[in-house]
Amino acid sequence: MSEFTESAYKFLVIAQKDFESAVKTKRFIIFGVIFVLLALVGAYYGNADVARSIAPISGAPNPATQPVNYAISVSYSYSEIVLTILALALSYDALSGERSARTLVQLVVRPITRRTILFGKFVAYLAAAGGLFVITTLVLYIGLSITTRTVPSSSDVGYLILSMGIILLYVMSFIAIGLLISSLTRTSLDSLLGAVFVWILLLILTYAGVALGLGAINLSPTSDIPYAQFPGYAKILVWINPGSHNVAIQSLAGDFFKLTSGLNYSVNVIFLIASILVPLIPAYYFFNRSDAV
Amino acid sequence: MNAIEVQGLTKRYKKSVVAVEDASFTVPQGTAFGLLGPIGAGKSSIINMLLNFIRPSAGTIKTLDREIPAQFHEVRHRIGYLPERPGFYGNFSAERNLRFFANLSDVREEREEKIKKLFKLAGLEGKETTLVRAYSLGDRKRLGIAAAMLNEPELLILDEPSTGLDPQGRRDIMALIHELNVHDVTLFLATHNVRDIAEICDVVATMRAGHVAAPTTTKDFVADVRGKTVQLEADIANINERILQAIRSVKGVKSIQCEGLKISLEYRPGINEDVNYVITRAGGRLRSLHESPSLEEAYVRKMGGRTR
Ligand SMILES: Nc1ncnc2c1ncn2[C@@H]1O[C@H](COP(=O)(O)OP(=O)(O)OP(=O)(O)O)[C@@H](O)[C@H]1O
Ligand SMILES: [Mg+2]
């Protein structure tokens, strides 16, 4: 076998093992069930909104013309936080857990690179968390179309697929954050503390950014926060959180002109991709340098 | 050729703890090399450096003619490793674990046959589909050996293979390891058990507080530990003059004390079996036969009762 097929094969071996392990964990089952329930509840309320024909919200799908996409957007807003918690819960001790279970030495004595181990895990957790999301969303979409007897337009289906791609990028950024935490800690407990810390830190930074930004322009909070008018430091605090670039709901509406966090659509997508790479590169660096015991 | 060459190897943890200091030794190919030292002597630290798990603070390592750590990736497929407490994926069956490690070790052809053979070799037949988290430490060690043998290594590095096992499990594991050495696998074995050394190793280097002494042959080492004379205590159900006569005929016997039947004789390897043989041949029903002091007791005495 060539060197490339060789490492591609090992990559699949790792990914398959970690996928199997991940879906058997209690955390996957617990957060997975919560995610599915919230997605269902969201879809139910979204559908109820459509029946009451409420007024369209800026950026969101129009309940009158895009009823199924609208219900899915409400489902997203209910469930996406739990999905990111699931992504983090799978990955936060991926590497430190192998070290404390003493399986890491059994891996690195064999012909395999640490890069392969890291990316195998990345893909495994994406398949677990992302797979659950994709299946849930497709089932809801088809279910909603059937129960409401609506045939979504082909562009609405296209918007759905695009929005799922955005959510998957969002999930990947949390897997990358989890892998970084896991490369910096030695025990699973430290990793857990690290994950909780990062989670809270991201929230605090976002709230601080919004508060500082609103304070700087002397405005009280409204539903439409004028991020574009914020001073630079407040914008940066908001932009650090991958969630501030989550443009899934406006993708569902096919609205590519609305600003999110003061940025236009394509810049948000670039920021989302960056928030995957920014933790992943140091995760690789630290994992590569760390002791195997 | 040497399987391992170590020069001036030093490991410091966080500047202050010196786990290994200026260690130098060589392990010729085909030998069974024992590193004997008490808890905390630095044995695992040496193994961890040989296997590129941690980086040396100073010194050089050559394994199978390659520089470690720089060229470790060129030789790792020729090395097997048994950790002190082997780690496996507890949610997977033993078989699934071995299959996973086999795939990483490039075992493609006849993978299933090989795994089957290793389960048999390790004495784990019938436990293939058991989840590893239900495995005892002894079974984990057996599975660890199976995992270490997947790639048919030329060099097998074993960290405390007998620790934490019951007498039967210990005997099985040590027999298994010895068998591998007979078939030309070079062994590097770290242990705090002097019996492991006596049973398996050709050469031994003692280690204490980070310092590795010059290696000697196990024969010389054992002779040095127990001195020239050994006492055997025998318990024979039907002791009679014929049996005593037979014992007196064994080469090297100095005196026999009939009270409790204590036999003093010149030590040589296999003396135990020789005495056992003549007693049985003379019709004696041997209930027990043991050395007094045992090798372990003699070793502890020689070390001045220190465990560190
Ligand atoms: N990661 C570490 N950080 C700090 N000190 C360490 C570390 N690992 C080992 N040590 C110390 O280095 C010394 C040697 O440890 P090592 O594990 O190599 O000994 P050992 O001979 O294998 O002992 P054991 O019989 O317990 O396995 C000990 O004093 C130990 O406390
Ligand atoms: Mg040790």
What tens digit of pLDDT does each residue of A81-102 get? 999 999 999 999 999 999 999 9
Side chain identity at B188, as an amino acid letter? F
Nearest CA to ligand 1 atom 30: B40
**Are residues B201 and B33 in contact, defined by beta-carbon separation less than 8 angstroms?**
yes
> Residue A9 CA to chain centroid, in angstroms?
27
Cα-to-centroid distance, A222 and ligand 2 (Å): 62
* pLDDT of the residue at B224: 85
Cα angle B4-B5-B11, degrees, rounded to a multiple of 5: 105
Q: What is the DSSP string of A13-62?
A: HHHHHHHHHHHHSHHHHHHHHHHHHHHHHHHHHHHHHHHTTPPPPTTSPP
Between positions 22 and 51 of B, the ones with CB within 8 A of A are 48, 51
Contacts of A103 in chain B (CB under 8 A): 87-89
Question: Is B191 an interface residue toward A (CB < 8 Å)?
Answer: no
Backbone torsion region of residue B304, taken as left when φ is above 0, otherwise alpha when ψ lies between -120 and 50, otherwise beta? left
- pLDDT of A284: 97
Strands B262-266 and B229-236: antiparallel
**With an 8 Å Cβ cutoff, are B104 and A291 in contact?**
no
pTM listed for this prediction: 0.89
CA-to-CA distance for A222 and A289, rounded, in angstroms?
47
Helix H or strand E segment including A210: helix A188-216
Q: Are A284 and A176 in contact (CB under 8 A)?
A: no
Which residue's CA is the closest to the ligand 1 atom numbered 25?
B39
Closest C-alpha to ligand 1, atom 26 = B39
3-state secondary structure B275-292: HHHHHHHCCCCEEEEEEE
Which of A13, A24, A293 lies nearest to residue B48, judging by beta carbons? A293
- Quickly count: other Cβ atoms within 10 Å of residue B73's Cβ: 13
How many angstroms is it from B141 CA to the middle of ligand 2? 15
Q: What is the pLDDT of residue B138?
A: 87
Ion ligand 2 — residues with CB < 5 Å: B 44
CA distance B82 to B76: 14
Report the pLDDT value the prediction gives residue A268, as an integer from 0 to 100: 96
Q: Which of B169, B178, B179, B168 is nearest to B143 (CA)?
A: B169
The two three-digit tokens of residue B60, written as one number = 């050089």
For B196-200, which contacts have Cβ atoms below 8 Å and span 24 or more sequence positions?
A: B196/B34, B196/B161, B196/B162, B197/B34, B197/B36, B197/B221, B198/B222, B198/B295, B199/B174, B200/B32, B200/B34, B200/B174
State residue A45's pLDDT score: 95
- What does the alpha-carbon distance between residue B98 and residue B91 come to, in Å, rounded to a whole number? 13
Which of A1, A6, A9, A106 is the best substitution to test chain B (most B C-beta atoms within 10 A)?
Answer: A106
Q: Measured between beta carbons, which residues in chain B are less than 8 angstroms from residue A110? A: 76-77, 101, 104-105, 151
pLDDT at B28: 95
Distance CA(A189)–CA(A187), nearest Å, equals 5
Tens-digit pLDDT string for chain A (293 aa): 677 888 899 999 999 999 999 999 999 999 999 999 999 999 999 999 988 888 888 889 999 999 999 999 999 999 999 999 999 999 999 999 999 999 999 999 999 999 999 999 999 999 999 999 999 999 999 999 999 999 999 999 999 999 999 999 999 999 999 999 999 999 889 999 999 999 999 999 999 999 898 888 877 666 678 888 888 999 999 999 999 999 999 999 999 999 999 899 999 999 999 999 999 999 999 999 999 99
Q: Find which of B49, B103, B150, B188 to mutate to test the A interface (most A CBs within 10 Å of its CB).
A: B103
Which pLDDT score is estimated for A222? 63
Residue B204 β-bridge partners: B34, B216
The separation between CA A203 and the C-alpha centre of its own chain, rounded to angstroms, equals 15
Is B151 in CB contact (< 8 Å) with chain A?
yes
Residue B187 token pair: 């062994």
pLDDT of res. B306: 60
How far away is chain A from the Cα of B126, in angstroms, using its nearest Cα? Answer: 23
Of B128, B140, B144, nearest in space to B94 by CA: B128
Q: Which helix (H) or strand (E) covers residue B67, if one does?
A: strand B66-68
Tell me the three state secondary structure of residue B89: coil
Instruction: Quote the pLDDT of residue B149.
Output: 92
Nearest protein CA to atom 3 of ligand 1, as residue? B13
Given the structure tokens 């398959």, which residue do they identify? A16
B145 to chain A: nearest residue by CA? Answer: A106
Residues with CB under 6 Å of ligand 1 are B 13-14, 17, 19, 37, 39-45, 192
> Distance (Å) from the C-alpha of residue B237 to the closest C-alpha of chain A?
50
What is the predicted ipTM? Answer: 0.89
Q: What is the pLDDT of residue A279?
A: 97
Query: Which residue segments constitute the domains of chain B, with CATH numbers given?
Result: 2-224 (3.40.50.300), 227-302 (3.30.70.100)
CB B29 within 8 Å of CB B78: no
Residues of chain B whose pLDDT is less than 70? 305-308
